[in-house]
Structure 1
Amino acid sequence: MSVSTVMHEARAELFDTSLLAGRSKESDLSRFLSNVELPAGRHKLDVYVNDLWKGRFKVLLGSTREDVKIASTAISELGLQTSWVSPAADSDNWIPVQYISEGATFVLDISTQSLRVSVPQAYVRRTDESYIDPQFWDPGLPALILGYNAVYNRLEAQSTNVATNDFYSGLNLGVNIGGWQFRELGSASKRSDERIQYQSNLRYAQNNIASLKSVVRVGEFYSGGELFESVKTKGVGLSSDINMLPNSMQAFSPVVRGTARTNALVIVKQNGSIIYQENVPPGPFVIDALPQTGSAGDLTVIVQEASGEVTSFTIPFSSVPSMLKAGVSKYALTLGSAVQPNTNYTPDFFQATWQRGLDNRATGYLGSTMSPEYQAYLIGGAFNLPVGALSLDVTHARTDLKERNFTGQSIRITYSKLLDATATNFTLGAFRYSSANFYTFDDAIYAKENNFSKNRKKYQNRFDIHQTEDTSVIDMKTWDSLTGARPRNNFSLNISQRLPGEWGSVYFAGVQRDYWGSNKKSREYQFGFSKSFNQVSISLSVNKVRDSHGHEQTRSYIGFTIPFEMFSNRATLASSVSFAESRYSQSNTSVSGSALQSQRLSYSVAASHDPENRAISVGSTYRANNVTVGGTLGEASDYRQFGLDARGTVVMIPGKILASNDMGNTMLVVEAPKAKGMVVNGDASVVTDEDGYALVPYASPYRTNSIMLSEGANTSGGRVIGNVAHSVPFADAVAKVTFKTDLRQALNFRALHANGSPLPFGAEVLDQAGNSIGYVGQASTLYINYDKRPSQLTVRMHDSVCAINLPDVLAPRASVSCR
């Protein structure tokens, strides 16, 4: 490597001014090549490695662009190999950027306050390119948060003129301070003449611990449900947050190992598509950063040698939910009291789970739930086999009830496989056998009150899709626990099949349960078919569902959708017919679409018919800058309906209150001082206010979020300097992204020499004090920026100057004289 190569990369591009027309070829453009716009010393710059943003680092600048140094400790944080030993680090461990790896080059971009480094791939650590070192994760600002989703609905019976008015609002209340996030998740509801009621669902404080890749929670929250069933808990929990890991470590994928005889190209394919490729030198190679590839499909590894020789081999790959990548661990610890609904029994308990990816083929896991009157122990493993992915675990539980003690076991098996030859995705999910004396923790809690008979009467004919005024929705699992229905076998099956040629695809999903002490069985299933041709989509489905009285019913559906264009926007015509037990049930026809800039307005018009009724309805939703509002209106022969809804988030940060048009968890505050009307990431519904602030309700935690500002129809005020910035927030944080702005006023006007000839392109414009405030652009137009409007300007050309007396008012299309 030679320093001259680096200097070539760093030197500004030259423009041949002789290519300009007329006297413009005599322009002095040397000021645009200035490399001393930043003084020598330490500066904090955005650093990119191979065009990927890695964070804001302290950089030491010398007197020239070529004299740029960075701390040697930053090499690892930039995602580079630390085995490269630099010969040029000084006594303070500052290293010239060209020596951070062999073959490194760089460009210092003063205009964007950034340093762009190019490094050979061999010296980049094998991890996700998009992964940012945890030191740059932003815990965010102190903030008060109110997220809401409010719905009002009025339903009036035509025959009786009796109306019911229902109001509901889901609420997400939060306080972020000192790295802690306090959350209250609840709902407010009111029905007709009843008083408004508030229900708290979860209430907790959490702290994200980057060093442990974990999160700690204190308060009311749900325990993890991956190995044991999730339990609402009042206590404390510490658990892994897999989102803190690089993307390739979050989901199971095998490690590819092989040997190359020459400089070779290694290609990894799944289901016929290339998912990864890399150049490797001669010798053994390891590829351990495959992207997330789904849960099924063997991997074909192709090694293309420089000699032209090609070899390949297959790595069996199927995955089930409990599989982890080799070397990755997950854990969860929970200590507290169980506070399940529909019971007053709140036992103390401790629960611990641990999972570990052992190698390409196996993941092991353990778990335990301990309570004074209930103990359970789980052991299991997940295996990536040539015949598919299989997980198997056994749970042993002891339950102490008033009458007697029960000891039993439960065996759970999950299987998944993609049959490549027939493109069949086959999943046998959670086949579970439980012995007669096995209780889950849920079962034990409800059984402790010994109120089976009371619950059977209270919840008679109550199922998960039915709701009465005096009870809340109950899912099937809770129903079984409340009524003492003890599952014996639970069998679920999921199959999806792509049909040959252009015949579409089919799927089947079903579950069957049977119980100890009963001959009854519960069955639910779905079957569907879909096909698209010439943009027209046809679908058919058959479902077994339960009605409000618990009766099973088979319903079928057939429908089609046709896209078309209306008022220069896309819209969709949809029509469907449904049947219940082979009898006609209902038909629907609708037109829906969106309009306005950024598709801010969505709408639908629908008509329906059933054997007893005809109805028509309209609905619309509009995304304003600070709230999303919508309304619905429907009428039929026996009812009239009217509804309103609104959702959004209000955030208070020090010195500012902001609002967005959607509910958010992890959010970004954009600040571009005094730049009003700037559009954020091209979404015309997210724009900066008069102070230059905007709230973005959607951000990806622990990942780079790039924010780009562009001018909108009503942009005014400060001019943004550099329109792209980045942030890597913690989960549930309110992070801040700040842009620099030029607050000077801008003025454009045309000026000519006294003889009517144009001024040369690129000539510099100075104010009375001799400060450079602008330049001459095309067609002899002057572009100037100023704090205080000047009365006189000087235009400095290559070999002469001329002066302009600037009038207070400039007439449209008028020209001023430069003498």
Structure 2
Amino acid sequence: MVRYFSRALFSILCQVSLGSSILLGMLGLARAEDIQFNTDVLDLKDRDNIDLGQFSHKGFILPGTYELALSLNNRVQQARPITFLAPDDDPKGSQACLSKEIVEQFGLTAGAQRGLMWWHQDQCLDLTSLNGLQVRADLGNSTLYISIPQVFLEYSNANWDPPSRWEEGLPGIILDYNLNTQVQRQNKEGAQNYTLSGNGVTGANLGPWRLRASWQSRIDHKNNSANENTRSFDWTQFTSYRAITSLRARLTLGEDFLHSDIFDSFRFTGGSLVSDDNMLPPNLRGYAPEVTGVARSNAKVVITQQGRVLKEVLVASGPFRIQDLDSAVSGALDVQVEEADGSVQRFQVDTSTIPYLTRPGQVRFKLATGRPTDGQHKVIGPTFATGEFSWGVSNGWSMYGGGLGGNDYSALSLGIGRDLMVLGALSADITRSKAWLPSQGTQQGDSYRLSYSKRFDDTNSQVTFAGYRFSDSGFMSMADYLSAKDNPNGNGISTGRSKEMYTLSFSQQFESLAMSGYLNYSHQTYWNQGASDRYDLTVARYFDIGHFRNINLSLTAYRNKFSNIRDDGMYLSLSMPWGSSGMMGYNGSYTGGANTHSINYSDRVGDTDNYTVRAGMSNSDADFSGYYSHRGTLAQMNGMASYRSGQYSSVGLSMSGGATLTGEGGALHRVSRMGGTRMLIDTDGVAGVPVGGYGNTVNSNIFGKAVVADVNSYHRSSVRIDVDKLADNAQATDSVQQGSLTEGAIGYRHFEVVAGEKAMAVIRLADGSVPPFGATVVNAKQQETGIVNDAGNVYLSGINPGEVMTVRWNNAEQCRITLPNEIKVEMTTNILLPCRKE
């Protein structure tokens, strides 16, 4: 802080001196950019021993190379080496050399790029070639400030950068994991069971390529007369992918699931090139799938697709809503809610997307080829190829379609979409399939689909989706064909062949009523099995009663009917603030013929921990449970315990985290999405620095490294130092940096942090004199730690015992000082520091 105050003081003196010279005629200007100080206004004992050279030339930076962050129109980007050179027409000046690589990341329009001129052997941008361009360096903040008129820049908004600014990140290795364990004891049977399950992603980043291997494991033990034990470990998927930014697409090689808005998903090994909605501005992106439901007790929710675990998470009793699934997930998802008493709820969620609309003149596409495979990586079908497109025909109209074909199977689809503006968007399509089976011969049929959606971007909280689909008995998806092909003795209609489906998802907030509602409904019929229904309805309202404020009343009703198993329930919740940060509430539920009433209390502990305790009655049995969550620097941990008198007791623990290792260092950390994008933070070797993105902060490790995992792909993300939590003996020259990373990237941000004590000192030269007024003191990292005042006095910050610092004036290193081996904060006298030349 001292160096900033000192520089501000010099700036004020500069202005005072300049004003005095105008009035008194005591100051002349050698050049338009040069400033001569009237030192008479300075209260100094020795006016002949002054060095204000670094302040006398506006914007002057000593020629050389500096590590500076780029602030483009007040948006800070990654630090990089910036060279300052003396222009040909001004040998005493200096100017930042903006290389072609740096200029490419500005996101200039094609017209602006054509008018650029260069100097210094065409290596540096001529700053006068772009009208209105301003460049200013601040070494105190280690930042190069660049201002460019918006008319010369590609489209961007507050949360999105053009592709020219996307970063591929560092090469590195990632090891992400999620582990869960549960122990259950059934009192009546005297049996004790435990499960240990886990899943994760191991991977490596090489330039723009992301190499990923997914795994899952489970151990089940039943302590009964049979002592049943089952164990499994599987590598579920091997894949590699990269962004093709020029096409706004993702190239994937290896094992994958078909990502399609037209055809049903299935597993295959091969390659795909798919337009990635995440590369579009936020208002043009599609919906990410979400899963909702109600847990009767503390439970584990397992979301899978075709046997592959996508998400495992512990949830407290009551309604849950999981919204952090990958937006690339499509098709039907299988959901299991494993309750504390050992019972399991099962249902499916269809992740249908919004109507396939495209901006006028643009084309979005999805291409793939390969061979279908099963969960054991075995080929189960013929080579296929598929392609689909969406073309923005005109303003408001889109045409889309595609084809999927292989040996003995083919499907064609054609559809049209219309943007109804304030009324939403509507699309309709028809798909025809043709398949040949050895036992049934040729089968063909049609599937019709109608979809409607409306999204309210202003609040980003209200989404409507509705759809209808009908498939006749002859229609077969690729998954249906593969199933029928493996069952030659069947009738050609595989188990689970869809007939008719209705879907509706709606959420609305009524701000004037302090009320919100959410509805999710799906109805599915099949050709060879019973119908499946699922709905969730939640209504919530905030209100006040007397001195009690922000009381929340919510009612959730649900029905699940899947594989002839029906589960109905209702859940009532009433909660109110209690104390400074706690919540007291009542919960009542009716599920599976059981009535439960309970009182619960939840609160947080600091910024990273929260807990819930609950006590009540289930029918006539006492019911107790607790839930604890900790968002730590190294991992996210959740724990739960449940007890019901005379029936069961259960405890569970989950832990999710990861390790990231790069050439710049690495750290253990918690994860947001397995194998996802993250940012490695370098705090200049200082441990315990609190850094973060949008979630809770994490602390840098003993090597001064931390990983922030809550970073979105292709989205401008900010990482920051929480200065409110920064230790008293540390300070940061800058506290916020921004950037946009490609999917799966390991970004890198360096924060200049000065750590150490503060003390007043007096610097003496070998002959007994003192350094000139205005001389600077820098540490081994070239961080400025103080500016010499009158009589050699200096207030030093960031000092450590035995540290060696350099004193500079006349734009050169003059001598070095060595700090004492013991520095006491309570020192009342100035430290005498001899300055010696070495």
> Where does residue 641 of structure 1 map in the other structure?
650
> Where does residue 630 of structure 1 map in the other structure?
638
TM-superposed CA distance for 1:693, in Å, is 1.5
The equivalences for 1:132-211 within 5 A come to 132=161, 134=163, 136-192=165-221, 194=229, 196-211=231-246
Does the 8 Å CA contact 2:543/2:552 hold for their aligned counterparts?
A: yes
> Where does residue 361 of structure 2 map in the other structure?
327
Deviation per CA, 1:204-250, whole angstroms, max 9, x where unpaired? 12233333332222222111032211111122222222323444554
Does the 8 Å CA contact 1:47/1:57 hold for their aligned counterparts?
A: no
Does the 8 Å CA contact 2:63/2:83 hold for their aligned counterparts?
A: no
Structure 2: 5+ residue runs without aligned partners? 1-9, 18-38, 222-227, 288-352, 545-549, 765-769, 810-816, 834-838
CA distance in 1: counterparts of 2:829 and 2:432, whole angstroms: 91
1:367 aligns with 2:402: yes
The letter of the residue matching 2:233 is Y
Relative contact order higher in (CA < 8 Å, ≥ 6 apart): 2
Question: CA distance change for structure 1 residues 390 and 722 in 2, over 3 Å: closer, same or farther?
Answer: closer
CA distance in 2: counterparts of 1:121 and 1:493, whole angstroms: 42
1:78 aligns with 2:106: yes
> Where does residue 783 of structure 1 map in the other structure?
796
Secondary structure of the residue aligned to 2:440 is coil
1:671 aligns with 2:682: yes
Does the 8 Å CA contact 2:220/2:231 hold for their aligned counterparts?
A: yes
Question: CA distance change for structure 1 residues 223 and 680 in 2, over 3 Å: closer, same or farther?
Answer: same
2:503 to 492, 508, 513: 492
> Where does residue 448 of structure 2 map in the other structure?
411
Does the 8 Å CA contact 2:719/2:737 hold for their aligned counterparts?
A: yes
CA distance in 1: counterparts of 2:804 and 2:554, whole angstroms: 72
> Where does residue 552 of structure 2 map in the other structure?
537
Question: CA distance change for structure 1 residues 446 and 37 in 2, over 3 Å: closer, same or farther?
Answer: same
Secondary structure of the residue aligned to 1:447 is helix
> Where does residue 690 of structure 1 map in the other structure?
702
CA distance in 2: counterparts of 1:778 and 1:160, whole angstroms: 86
Question: CA distance change for structure 1 residues 70 and 130 in 2, over 3 Å: closer, same or farther?
Answer: farther
The equivalences for 1:328-727 within 5 A come to 328-340=362-374, 345-385=380-420, 388-401=424-437, 402-416=439-453, 427=464, 429-450=466-487, 482-483=494-495, 485-496=496-507, 501-502=512-513, 504-516=515-527, 521-534=531-544, 535-546=550-561, 550-566=564-580, 570-580=581-591, 585-596=595-606, 599-637=607-645, 638-654=647-663, 656-664=665-673, 665-681=676-692, 685-709=697-721, 722-727=734-739
Secondary structure of the residue aligned to 1:194 is strand
CA distance in 2: counterparts of 1:453 and 1:791, whole angstroms: 83
CA distance in 2: counterparts of 1:650 and 1:546, whole angstroms: 41
The letter of the residue matching 2:660 is V
TM-superposed CA distance for 1:584, in Å, is 6.0
Does the 8 Å CA contact 1:250/1:325 hold for their aligned counterparts?
A: no
Does the 8 Å CA contact 2:692/2:708 hold for their aligned counterparts?
A: no
TM-superposed CA distance for 1:150, in Å, is 0.7
CA distance in 1: counterparts of 2:456 and 2:76, whole angstroms: 40
Secondary structure of the residue aligned to 1:243 is helix
Deviation per CA, 1:514-573, whole angstroms, max 9, x where unpaired? 34478x5443333332211231121223322237x733344223222212334xxx2222
Question: CA distance change for structure 1 residues 722 and 496 in 2, over 3 Å: closer, same or farther?
Answer: closer
Taking structure 2 as the reference length, the TM-score comes to: 0.71
CA distance in 2: counterparts of 1:37 and 1:66, whole angstroms: 6
CA distance in 1: counterparts of 2:489 and 2:508, whole angstroms: 43
Does the 8 Å CA contact 1:727/1:737 hold for their aligned counterparts?
A: no
CA distance in 1: counterparts of 2:560 and 2:286, whole angstroms: 33
1:30 aligns with 2:59: no
Does the 8 Å CA contact 1:674/1:690 hold for their aligned counterparts?
A: yes
Does the 8 Å CA contact 1:97/1:106 hold for their aligned counterparts?
A: no
Taking structure 1 as the reference length, the TM-score comes to: 0.73
CA distance in 2: counterparts of 1:506 and 1:728, whole angstroms: 34
TM-superposed CA distance for 1:170, in Å, is 1.2
Secondary structure of the residue aligned to 2:473 is coil
Secondary structure of the residue aligned to 1:675 is coil
The letter of the residue matching 2:712 is S
TM-superposed CA distance for 1:651, in Å, is 2.3
The letter of the residue matching 1:101 is L
> Where does residue 263 of structure 1 map in the other structure?
none
Does the 8 Å CA contact 1:111/1:722 hold for their aligned counterparts?
A: no
The letter of the residue matching 1:79 is G
Question: CA distance change for structure 1 residues 366 and 553 in 2, over 3 Å: closer, same or farther?
Answer: same
Secondary structure of the residue aligned to 2:482 is helix
Question: CA distance change for structure 1 residues 91 and 495 in 2, over 3 Å: closer, same or farther?
Answer: closer
* Greater displacement, 371-380 / 75-84: 75-84
CA distance in 2: counterparts of 1:43 and 1:775, whole angstroms: 20
CA distance in 1: counterparts of 2:278 and 2:624, whole angstroms: 45
Does the 8 Å CA contact 1:24/1:762 hold for their aligned counterparts?
A: no
Deviation per CA, 1:403-461, whole angstroms, max 9, x where unpaired? 221111111011235899xxx9895622112222111222111122337879xxxxxxx
TM-superposed CA distance for 1:58, in Å, is 5.6
* Greater displacement, 37-46 / 674-683: 37-46
> Where does residue 340 of structure 2 map in the other structure?
none
TM-superposed CA distance for 1:59, in Å, is 5.8
CA RMSD of aligned residues (A): 4.7
CA distance in 1: counterparts of 2:456 and 2:160, whole angstroms: 33
Report the number of matched residues: 692
CA distance in 1: counterparts of 2:445 and 2:805, whole angstroms: 94
Does the 8 Å CA contact 1:222/1:231 hold for their aligned counterparts?
A: yes
Deviation per CA, 1:98-155, whole angstroms, max 9, x where unpaired? 5243334342323334332334444444444655454554333332321111111111
The letter of the residue matching 1:557 is Y
Does the 8 Å CA contact 2:388/2:401 hold for their aligned counterparts?
A: yes
CA distance in 1: counterparts of 2:139 and 2:717, whole angstroms: 22
Secondary structure of the residue aligned to 2:391 is strand
Deviation per CA, 1:280-314, whole angstroms, max 9, x where unpaired? xxxxxxxxxxxxxxxxxxxxxxxxxxxxxxxxxxx
CA distance in 1: counterparts of 2:463 and 2:96, whole angstroms: 57
The letter of the residue matching 2:360 is A
TM-superposed CA distance for 1:675, in Å, is 1.6
> Where does residue 748 of structure 2 map in the other structure?
736
CA distance in 1: counterparts of 2:493 and 2:237, whole angstroms: 22
CA distance in 2: counterparts of 1:720 and 1:749, whole angstroms: 20
CA distance in 2: counterparts of 1:123 and 1:792, whole angstroms: 44
Does the 8 Å CA contact 2:507/2:517 hold for their aligned counterparts?
A: yes
Secondary structure of the residue aligned to 1:677 is coil
Deviation per CA, 1:653-711, whole angstroms, max 9, x where unpaired? 34855210235411222223422222213877522222212122232223444433356
CA distance in 1: counterparts of 2:775 and 2:63, whole angstroms: 26
The letter of the residue matching 1:614 is A
Secondary structure of the residue aligned to 1:227 is coil
> Where does residue 35 of structure 2 map in the other structure?
none
* Greater displacement, 159-168 / 28-37: 28-37
TM-superposed CA distance for 1:810, in Å, is 6.1
CA distance in 2: counterparts of 1:674 and 1:105, whole angstroms: 33
Question: CA distance change for structure 1 residues 619 and 760 in 2, over 3 Å: closer, same or farther?
Answer: farther
CA distance in 2: counterparts of 1:689 and 1:658, whole angstroms: 7
Secondary structure of the residue aligned to 2:394 is coil
CA distance in 2: counterparts of 1:191 and 1:791, whole angstroms: 60
TM-superposed CA distance for 1:354, in Å, is 1.6
Deviation per CA, 1:770-795, whole angstroms, max 9, x where unpaired? x9973468997731677995999999
CA distance in 1: counterparts of 2:109 and 2:139, whole angstroms: 27
